[in-house]
Amino acid sequence: MKIFVLLPRIPYPLEKGDKLRAFNQIKQLSKRNEIVLCALNDNTKVDEQQAFHALQPYCASINFIKISKINILFGLIWAFMKGLPLQCGYFFNRKASRKVDELILKHQPDILFGQLLRVAEYIRHKGIPKAIDYQDVFSYGMKRRRDIASWITRPVFNMEYQRLCRYEAAIFDDFDIKTIISEPDRDLIPHPKKNEILIIPNGVDHDFFKPQQQEKRYDIVFTGNMSYPPNVNAVDYLANEILPIVWKTLPDAKMYIAGASPDPKVKKAACDRIIVSGWLDDIRDAYAQSKVFIAPMRIGTGLQNKLLEAMSMGLPAITSPLANASLGAQPNVEILIGSNAEEMANNIITLLTDKVKAQQIAQAGYDFTNRVYDWGKATEILENAMKNILNSNF
């Protein structure tokens, strides 16, 4: 098959979950198919040449379309006037749309594959077989952000939530294939035929994320893009509610916050016992130099790649019921679950003081991720669905 892949971001470097998913799906699909990649780019700091070299082994054609600040402004106004989600307007403009049309006409792909509803406007009305990866339920993630927002910003979040609900349902019938990361996310899609959505989980590169022997410099680690609101919220939760309880028992426990683009709120959390790294050339060092991983997610949706990476590297992990709903690990066997700050803190204390328990959780979590989460197996589900759609059209 010739697959035209349309992305809202250049999928490199791999510091965000959507980039990681796109990169690995492209890598797997390229083994038996021809990939034409078209990625929007709103970030002037992205090294396009470096990204091109990283993607070149997997793509027959690579195309980056720059979106300027003025494009974004007009796109936001356009979306507001049309009643569409603002994040769709952020990524959509007519100049980019013409370029996408030209590329589709030039390459004559067998199928179009868009990642996230942010690119749906570019391809939803094309007369070619189409697939869309919802990935997460954006509407429900926006609802959670609305519920904790200040009274000043809450109306904006509520407006976006309502628009996302309508849009997630509206684009459903425009695409032949719909995919999403997990069953809990699928169940939240506001459409009566949501069970038609294919569950395509993320994977983890087990050859890359494997146990390493390094000096343990930190007791607890949390990783991710530190400008992403759910991660910023998690850091606030750690610094102000969870760690103060831990320090009552383990006053010397050190927390490592590792990830790119730390928000001012994340930087503010830094102190002698909370180290904020910023960008790391190799995120594996953060895992390997720490004893326990925690992802205390309270907002956001979807599968947390950070959990897969940490568990694949042999760390005992702690998370929330929200995050484990998508992960599906067995509580108290493969992972520890905390529903509030006290439970989170007690889990940390347990894993730092009971080496036998920590090793049992680490080994079971490692076995679980290696057994269940594999990019090749996951992407094969998508590839087979594409083949079936093309075969049914003949």
Is-above-0.85 flag for pTM?
A: yes
Instruction: Answer whether 52's CB lies under 8 Å from 91's CB.
Output: no
The predicted pLDDT at position 328 comes to 94
Q: How far apart are CA 200 and CA 373, in angstroms?
A: 10
Exposure pattern of 316-339 as b/e (b: 16+ CB <10 Å)? Answer: bbbbbebbbbbbbbeeeebbbbbe
Domains of the chain in start order, with CATH, are 2-201+374-392 (3.40.50.2000), 218-372 (3.40.50.2000)
Q: pLDDT tens digits for 278-287?
A: 889 899 999 9
What whole-number percentage of the chain has pLDDT above 90?
Answer: 91
Indicate the pLDDT class of residue 303, thresholds 50, 70 and 90. confident
The predicted pLDDT at position 330 comes to 98
Average pLDDT, the chain: 95
The predicted pLDDT at position 394 comes to 64
Mean pLDDT of 352-361: 98
Q: How far apart are CA 369 and CA 31, in angstroms?
A: 23
Q: How far apart are CA 123 and CA 107, in angstroms?
A: 15
Q: How far apart are CA 33 and CA 16, in angstroms?
A: 25
State which amino acid sits at residue 94. Answer: R
Mean pLDDT of 246-250: 98
The predicted pLDDT at position 294 comes to 98
Whether the CA torsion 160, 147, 264, 322 is positive or negative: it is negative
Task: Say whether pLDDT at 345 is over 90.
Answer: yes
Mean pLDDT of 82-89: 96
Q: How far apart are CA 300 and CA 305, in angstroms?
A: 13
Q: How far apart are CA 298 and CA 134, in angstroms?
A: 21
Q: pLDDT tens digits for 7-30?
A: 999 999 988 889 999 999 999 999
The predicted pLDDT at position 134 comes to 96
Residue keyed to tokens 């009552």? 248
What contacts 109, CB < 8 A, 6 or more positions away? 2, 3, 4, 36, 128
Mean pLDDT of 230-239: 96
Residue 164: enclosing H or E segment and its boundaries?
Answer: helix 154-170
Q: How far apart are CA 4 and CA 108, in angstroms?
A: 9
What are φ and ψ of residue 331, in 5° steps? -60, 140
Q: How far apart are CA 303 and CA 137, in angstroms?
A: 11
For the chain, give the number of residues: 394
The predicted pLDDT at position 302 comes to 74
Q: pLDDT tens digits for 150-203?
A: 999 999 999 999 999 999 999 999 999 999 999 989 999 989 999 999 999 999
What whole-number percentage of the chain has pLDDT above 70?
Answer: 99
Q: pLDDT tens digits for 102-145?
A: 999 999 999 999 999 999 999 999 999 999 999 989 998 899 88
Residue 216 buriedness (CB in 10 A; 0-12 / 13-18 / 19+)? exposed
